[in-house]
A and B are shown apart, each in its own frame.
Chain A
Amino acid sequence: MLELKLDRVSRHYKQKIAVDRLEFTFGKGIYGLLGANGAGKTTLLRMMVGVLKPTSGEILCDGQEIGKMAGEYRRKLGYLPQDLGYYPNFTVWRYLEYLAELKAVPPELAVERIEKLLQFTGLAKSGKEKIKTLSGGMIRRMGIAQSLLNDPEILILDEPTSGLDPRERIRFRNMISALGRDRMVLLSSHIVSDIEYIADEILIMKGGKITESGNLQKILKTVEGNVWECVKEPEQAELLNQQFTVSNLKNTEDGKVVLRIVSDTQPVEGAVRIPPNLEDVYLYGTREKSFGPRV
């Protein structure tokens, strides 16, 4: 059994509430966390990792408070922070070796595991290179490698695909899918398609709260009937773009514009309902208040 339970977890920064009495239970599988900047994603992940202490509430791992479990909880963890820290003068190998020691990876297994992970992340030839000479994408991959050093039961990844090119992103998505079979993976991302492809369960955060959660089908159902499509002249399309939340806008060959609009009501005569996608749900879930014309 592996269960991580948020029990009315809150975190305040002076007057600002970053995470507001969250309640959720995570089990094995891949969870995708979506939310705008400042929605509280990173704060939530930091609390789950034990870096930040909740202002109130508890985080329980298999029924035990994670703060009290201390090292025994951290032993289960793999974490990739949004801004990966590293010692620029360390080589990739030395960096991984250092973190393997901190993660209490048995010395007799550490070398083999580092080799495997360097292979896995495509950094096999860069082991002897100093980190300061690596590109952003390579550093991100090194971050992914370090998060897997201790073969963690709980893997928490904050914006793992930022800085990766499309090929690396796809490779990484496949990697996460494989890892999620027998552990708990929680990842936050701005890239909706990444979450859509790999997450078993999606959580949408806004204002420190989880506004929607469930699998893709369940999440999509929440906005069914609220996504519209219409074809308009460019001038009218521009007006609609200002009035409504347009999730996509595409020019056609005959000089017209196809608009995809998220709205509670029919935005314009002739607009037809279409099936929603996760981007629509994201826009709907992070809306200000009502989702009609923006005045």
Chain B
Amino acid sequence: MKEKIILEEIQIDRQRKQQILRNIGKAVEEKRYVYCPSLWEIFRGQLKYISRFCLGGQLLCLFLTVVLLGYFQWVEEGMLTYLGTASVAASGMGIFLMIELSRSSAIGMMELEQSCYLNFKQVWCVKMILFGFLDILLLTVMVAVIAGNTSCGMFRALVYLLVPFLLSNAVQLLVFTMLRGRKGEYLQAGAAAVCGAASLIPLSSPRWYTLTYFGLWIVALAAAILWLIREISLIYRRLEEGEILCWN
């Protein structure tokens, strides 16, 4: 009761109240709403805009390889058939990511994307993680099937598949840094085809897949890793400098 009396006794200056409300409104309007998307929102957002051709192609590649490996199991094919098919799949599957990445460079989007809060490099990272996840899934399936159906162990199968996979990705990055424009995509597809064909070379003689030559595969794997690291650092440096981002 006492409180009510006090409130009623307070004199309200209506003009001053309006002024204060206006000031508050203005301050609210001027206040910038800073929004930081979560990692999940970033991934979900990018997934929406990835080209259907690239994502579909990658998934189709995964599906066909699994079907093919299943068929080989059914007809009880030999180790070389498994390794040949898996090597071609391993060297070819990087192409979809590279086509997706080169999409922005082919049409001058890189410069614009680089000026955004989530810049080009971050968008690239997200796409690489998404496609990389599918690559790892496919490699795991292939290694498991090969190890389970041939005399080749897990580790050896992994090395045999990683060599064409890493070499093909290094070649793709090399082509990407060397060429720009619409035709770059075709050249990248061409490079992937050449890598796929090259991955079949060891099949010319079964002895390449024996333990005697495994040391050579390890050396090739180390070389492929070093080359890929070099290509990634080169492209990172160029992106930092910025010239590669600009259309002219």
A, B from the same assembly: yes
Chain B residues with CB under 8 A of A13: 243
- Chain B interface size, as a band, is 20 to 34
Contact B111 A104 (CB under 8 A): no
Q: For the complex, is B205 an interface residue (Cβ under 8 Å from A)?
A: no
The answer, among B33, B37, B107, B118, for a CB contact under 8 Å with A85, is B107
Chain B residues with CB under 8 A of A79: 112, 115
Chain A residues with CB under 8 A of B116: 74, 99, 102-103
Residue interface mask A48-76, B partner, CB < 8 A = 1: 01111100000000000000000100110
Chain A residues with CB under 8 A of B109: 85-87
Chain A residues with CB under 8 A of B241: 52-53
The answer, among B34, B110, B118, B243, for a CB contact under 8 Å with A101, is B118
- Bound together, the chains give a CA A81 to CA B114 distance in angstroms of 11
Contact B118 A52 (CB under 8 A): no
- CB B246 to nearest CB in A, in angstroms, measures 6
The answer, among B110, B117, B245, for a CB contact under 8 Å with A103, is B117
- Bound together, the chains give a CA A24 to CA B12 distance in angstroms of 51
Residue interface mask B107-134, A partner, CB < 8 A = 1: 1111111111111000100000000000
Q: For the complex, is A169 an interface residue (Cβ under 8 Å from B)?
A: no
Contact residues of A: prevailing secondary structure: loop
With A74-B117, A98-B49, A102-B118 as contacts: A51 and B111 at CB distance below 8 Å: yes
Chain B residue at minimal CB-CB distance from A78: B115
The answer, among A50, A83, A101, for a CB contact under 8 Å with B115, is A50
- Bound together, the chains give a CA A154 to CA B68 distance in angstroms of 55
Contact A102 B123 (CB under 8 A): yes
The answer, among A46, A53, A74, A105, for a CB contact under 8 Å with B111, is A46
- CB B28 to nearest CB in A, in angstroms, measures 14
Chain A residues with CB under 8 A of B49: 98, 101
- Bound together, the chains give a CA A27 to CA B33 distance in angstroms of 22
Q: For the complex, is A175 an interface residue (Cβ under 8 Å from B)?
A: no
Q: For the complex, is A270 an interface residue (Cβ under 8 Å from B)?
A: no
Q: Which of B11-65 contact A (CB under 8 A)?
A: 33-37, 45, 49
Contact A104 B112 (CB under 8 A): no
Q: For the complex, is A234 an interface residue (Cβ under 8 Å from B)?
A: no
- Chain A interface size, as a band, is 20 to 34
- Bound together, the chains give a CA A67 to CA B241 distance in angstroms of 12
Contact A75 B246 (CB under 8 A): no
Contact A53 B242 (CB under 8 A): yes
Chain A residues with CB under 8 A of B117: 71, 74-75, 102-104, 150
Chain A residues with CB under 8 A of B240: 53
Q: For the complex, is B104 an interface residue (Cβ under 8 Å from A)?
A: yes
- Bound together, the chains give a CA A155 to CA B210 distance in angstroms of 63
- Bound together, the chains give a CA A276 to CA B211 distance in angstroms of 86
Contact A106 B33 (CB under 8 A): yes
Q: Which of B209-248 contact A (CB under 8 A)?
A: 240-243, 245-248
- CB B108 to nearest CB in A, in angstroms, measures 3
Contact B115 A84 (CB under 8 A): no
- Bound together, the chains give a CA A81 to CA B247 distance in angstroms of 10
- Bound together, the chains give a CA A99 to CA B113 distance in angstroms of 8
Contact A81 B112 (CB under 8 A): yes
With A51-B115, A74-B115, A81-B112 as contacts: A105 and B246 at CB distance below 8 Å: no
Q: Which of A1-59 contact B (CB under 8 A)?
A: 13, 46, 49-53
Q: For the complex, is A295 an interface residue (Cβ under 8 Å from B)?
A: no
Contact A85 B111 (CB under 8 A): yes
Chain B residues with CB under 8 A of A239: none
- CB A242 to nearest CB in B, in angstroms, measures 33
With A83-B247, A104-B35 as contacts: A46 and B107 at CB distance below 8 Å: no
- CB B115 to nearest CB in A, in angstroms, measures 4
Residue interface mask A105-120, B partner, CB < 8 A = 1: 1100100000000000
Q: Given A46-B246, A85-B107, list of 5 further CB < 8 A pairs?
A: A49-B114, A51-B115, A74-B119, A75-B117, A99-B112
Q: List 21 A-B contacts (CB under 8 A).
A: A49-B115, A51-B111, A52-B243, A52-B245, A52-B246, A71-B118, A71-B119, A74-B116, A75-B117, A77-B115, A81-B247, A85-B109, A85-B111, A87-B107, A101-B45, A102-B113, A102-B118, A102-B119, A104-B118, A105-B35, A150-B117
Seen from chain B, the residues whose Cβ lies within 8 Å of a Cβ on chain A are 33-37, 45, 49, 103-104, 107-119, 123, 240-243, 245-248
Lowest 4 CB-CB distances: which A-B pairs, in order?
Answer: A85-B108, A85-B109, A102-B116, A52-B242
